[in-house]
Structure 1
Amino acid sequence: MTVRQVTMPIHDNAANVGVQAESVHGDITVYFLPPGAGPEEKLRVGVNYLNGGMPSKAGELIYDVLMSGHTSSEAWFHWLLAVISGRTLRQLSEEDIAKLSAARSRLPLHRQDIWADGLRVISRLLDALGSQQAELRQLVRKELAGLDPLLREKIVRHLQLFLSGPVEDEMWTVSVAEARNAQRANGRSERVWRFFYPAPANPRARKPVPAATTGWDVALAVVATAVAATAAGWLCWVILTSGRVVPTVALLLSIGAGYLCAVHGAAWRFNVERRRAKDAMHRLPQQRKAAPSGGFANRVDRLFKQYAGRYVPDRVDRSEWLNVTAGIRRHLRDEIVEAYRETRVSDKEIAWLIRHRVGDLKTRWTNGTLWAYRKQLRTPIRTRALVVLSGLVAAACWLLVIATAVPQKPLTAIAATVVLLVAAWPALRGWSRIVLEARRSAADQAEYDQRMADSWAAHERWTRKLDSKPEDAEMAAWLDCDCRLLIDKAMAHYKLCPTDVIAYAVIEAPAKPYMKRGRVRNGPWRYGRYELLVFLLTPDGVRQMSAQLDFEQATFHNLRRANYRFEAVAAVRVAESDKHARTFELALVNGELTAVNVTEASTDKLQEGESPLTLSAAALDASGLTTTLHVLEGVAAEGKEWIQRERQRGRKREEGFISAIRDLLD
Structure 2
Amino acid sequence: MTAQSTRNVAQGNAYVGVQVGSVSGGFHSHHHAPPDPHSTPEGEFEAGVRYLDRFLLDTARQHIERAVTRGYPITPRAQFYRLVALLSGRTPRQLEDEEWKRLLAIWSDPPDLDESDEWTLGLRAILRLLNSTDAAGPETAAKELESLPPRQKHYIFGHLDIALEGALRDRVWQKSVAHARENRTAGDRLGRAWKFFHPTPAPARTRPVTPAAIAMSDRVKVGVGGPLLLLATSKLTTLLTANGEFGGLIGLYSAVAGLAIFGIAGADRYFRHRYRQAKDSELRPSRRQRTDARPGGFAGRIDRLFTHYFAQYRPDGMASAEWLDETAGIRRHLRNEVVDAYREERINADRVAWLVRYLASDVRTRWNQGTLTAYRQELRVSLRTWLLQVVGVIALIAGFVSVTAAVFSAAVLPGSLWLALTVPTAVVTTRAAFRIVAERRRVAADSVHRSAEQDRRTEAYDRWVAKLADRPTDTEMATWLECDRKVITDQALQQFRLQPGQVVAHAFLEAPAKSARKRRAEDGPWRYSHYRLLLFLLTEDGVRQIDLELDFRRADHRDTQRLNYRFHAISAVRIDGLALRKPTFHLTLNSGEKMTVQVTGTDTKAAEPNQDPSPITELTVDASGLHQTLHVLEGVAAEGKDWVRFRREQADNRLAELSRRTSGLLD
Range class of TM-score, shorter chain: 0.7 to 0.9
Counterpart Cα distance in 2 of 1:285 and 1:470: 43
Contact 1:602 1:613 in 2 (8 A): no
Alignment of 1:194-209 (within 5 A): 194-209=195-210
Residues 384 and 306 (structure 1), Cα distance of their counterparts in 2 relative to 1, 3 Å cut: same
Q: Offset of 1:125 from its aligned partner?
A: 2.3
Q: Offset of 1:260 from its aligned partner?
A: 2.4
Moved more, 628-637 or 446-455: 628-637
Contact 1:123 1:662 in 2 (8 A): no
Counterpart Cα distance in 2 of 1:661 and 1:305: 67
Counterpart Cα distance in 2 of 1:641 and 1:32: 37
Counterpart Cα distance in 2 of 1:619 and 1:117: 34
Alignment of 1:347-366 (within 5 A): 347-366=349-368
User: Which residue of structure 2 aligns with residue 279 of structure 1?
Assistant: 280
Confirm whether residue 633 of structure 1 aligns to residue 634 of structure 2: yes
User: Which residue of structure 2 aligns with residue 139 of structure 1?
Assistant: 143
Counterpart Cα distance in 1 of 2:377 and 2:390: 21
User: Which residue of structure 2 aligns with residue 623 of structure 1?
Assistant: 624
SS at match of 2:454: helix
SS at match of 1:581: coil
User: Which residue of structure 1 aligns with residue 331 of structure 2?
Assistant: 329
Counterpart Cα distance in 2 of 1:577 and 1:173: 38
SS at match of 1:552: helix
Counterpart Cα distance in 1 of 2:366 and 2:466: 25
1:556-606 CA-to-partner distances (Å, cap 9, x unmatched) read 113432223334333333333431323333333333333332234352345
Q: Offset of 1:77 from its aligned partner?
A: 2.9
Confirm whether residue 432 of structure 1 aligns to residue 434 of structure 2: yes
Letter in 2 for 1:118: G
Contact 1:85 1:162 in 2 (8 A): yes
Confirm whether residue 126 of structure 1 aligns to residue 130 of structure 2: yes
Counterpart Cα distance in 2 of 1:266 and 1:664: 98
User: Which residue of structure 2 aligns with residue 90 of structure 1?
Assistant: 93
Residues 249 and 647 (structure 1), Cα distance of their counterparts in 2 relative to 1, 3 Å cut: same
User: Which residue of structure 2 aligns with residue 407 of structure 1?
Assistant: 409
Q: Offset of 1:359 from its aligned partner?
A: 1.4
Counterpart Cα distance in 1 of 2:568 and 2:638: 9
User: Which residue of structure 2 aligns with residue 6 of structure 1?
Assistant: 25
Counterpart Cα distance in 1 of 2:199 and 2:339: 19
Contact 1:131 1:165 in 2 (8 A): no
Alignment of 1:118-197 (within 5 A): 118-133=122-137, 135-144=139-148, 147-148=149-150, 150-197=151-198
User: Which residue of structure 2 aligns with residue 306 of structure 1?
Assistant: 308
Moved more, 536-545 or 110-119: 110-119
Counterpart Cα distance in 2 of 1:665 and 1:396: 119
User: Which residue, 435, 450, 453 being the options, matches 1:451?
Assistant: 453
Alignment of 1:646-665 (within 5 A): 646-656=647-657
User: Which residue of structure 1 aligns with residue 8 of structure 2?
Assistant: none
Residues 662 and 82 (structure 1), Cα distance of their counterparts in 2 relative to 1, 3 Å cut: farther
User: Which residue of structure 1 aligns with residue 548 of structure 2?
Assistant: 547
Contact 1:548 1:557 in 2 (8 A): yes
Moved more, 133-142 or 184-193: 133-142
Q: Offset of 1:276 from its aligned partner?
A: 0.9
Q: Which runs of 5+ in 1 are unaligned?
A: 9-30
Residues 168 and 392 (structure 1), Cα distance of their counterparts in 2 relative to 1, 3 Å cut: same
Residues 225 and 662 (structure 1), Cα distance of their counterparts in 2 relative to 1, 3 Å cut: farther
Confirm whether residue 587 of structure 1 aligns to residue 619 of structure 2: no
Contact 1:579 1:602 in 2 (8 A): no
Confirm whether residue 538 of structure 1 aligns to residue 539 of structure 2: yes
Counterpart Cα distance in 1 of 2:38 and 2:62: 16
User: Which residue of structure 2 aligns with residue 340 of structure 1?
Assistant: 342
Counterpart Cα distance in 1 of 2:350 and 2:199: 7
Q: Offset of 1:415 from its aligned partner?
A: 3.1
Q: Offset of 1:56 from its aligned partner?
A: 1.6
Residues 376 and 35 (structure 1), Cα distance of their counterparts in 2 relative to 1, 3 Å cut: farther
Contact 1:130 1:164 in 2 (8 A): no
1:155-186 CA-to-partner distances (Å, cap 9, x unmatched) read 21211331111121121011101100111111
Counterpart Cα distance in 1 of 2:335 and 2:245: 66
Q: Offset of 1:66 from its aligned partner?
A: 3.1
SS at match of 2:354: helix
Counterpart Cα distance in 1 of 2:656 and 2:22: 29
SS at match of 1:418: helix
User: Which residue of structure 2 aligns with residue 16 of structure 1?
Assistant: none
Residues 319 and 660 (structure 1), Cα distance of their counterparts in 2 relative to 1, 3 Å cut: same
1:34-53 CA-to-partner distances (Å, cap 9, x unmatched) read 65123443233222211222
Residues 7 and 45 (structure 1), Cα distance of their counterparts in 2 relative to 1, 3 Å cut: same
SS at match of 1:341: helix
Confirm whether residue 369 of structure 1 aligns to residue 388 of structure 2: no
Q: Offset of 1:304 from its aligned partner?
A: 1.3
SS at match of 2:572: strand
1:227-270 CA-to-partner distances (Å, cap 9, x unmatched) read 21122123234445666664454445444433322221111000
Contact 1:141 1:170 in 2 (8 A): no
Contact 1:129 1:165 in 2 (8 A): yes
Counterpart Cα distance in 2 of 1:129 and 1:240: 128
% identity of equivalent residues: 37
Counterpart Cα distance in 1 of 2:190 and 2:338: 32
1:45-100 CA-to-partner distances (Å, cap 9, x unmatched) read 22221122211211222223334444354444323221221223233344444445
Q: Offset of 1:455 from its aligned partner?
A: 1.9
Contact 2:88 2:159 in 1 (8 A): yes
Letter in 2 for 1:124: R
Contact 1:58 1:79 in 2 (8 A): no
Moved more, 251-260 or 325-334: 251-260
User: Which residue of structure 2 aligns with residue 15 of structure 1?
Assistant: none
SS at match of 1:599: coil
Counterpart Cα distance in 1 of 2:217 and 2:328: 40
Residues 555 and 212 (structure 1), Cα distance of their counterparts in 2 relative to 1, 3 Å cut: same
1:89-124 CA-to-partner distances (Å, cap 9, x unmatched) read 233344444445555547586876544443343233
User: Which residue of structure 1 aligns with residue 268 of structure 2?
Assistant: 267
User: Which residue of structure 2 aligns with residue 420 of structure 1?
Assistant: 422
Residues 282 and 64 (structure 1), Cα distance of their counterparts in 2 relative to 1, 3 Å cut: same
User: Which residue of structure 1 aligns with residue 486 of structure 2?
Assistant: 484
Residues 258 and 34 (structure 1), Cα distance of their counterparts in 2 relative to 1, 3 Å cut: farther
Confirm whether residue 475 of structure 1 aligns to residue 494 of structure 2: no
Letter in 2 for 1:3: S
Contact 1:85 1:158 in 2 (8 A): yes
TM-score (normalizing by structure 1): 0.87
TM-score (normalizing by structure 2): 0.87
Counterpart Cα distance in 1 of 2:281 and 2:521: 44
User: Which residue, 42, 45, 56 being the options, matches 1:43?
Assistant: 45
Equivalent pairs counted in the alignment come to: 640
Counterpart Cα distance in 1 of 2:528 and 2:249: 87
Contact 2:162 2:173 in 1 (8 A): no
Contact 1:250 1:400 in 2 (8 A): yes
Letter in 2 for 1:4: V
Counterpart Cα distance in 2 of 1:282 and 1:399: 46
SS at match of 2:608: coil
SS at match of 1:342: helix
Residues 237 and 75 (structure 1), Cα distance of their counterparts in 2 relative to 1, 3 Å cut: farther
Q: Offset of 1:385 from its aligned partner?
A: 3.7
User: Which residue of structure 2 aligns with residue 79 of structure 1?
Assistant: 82
Residues 424 and 113 (structure 1), Cα distance of their counterparts in 2 relative to 1, 3 Å cut: farther
Counterpart Cα distance in 2 of 1:509 and 1:4: 22
User: Which residue of structure 1 aligns with residue 10 of structure 2?
Assistant: none
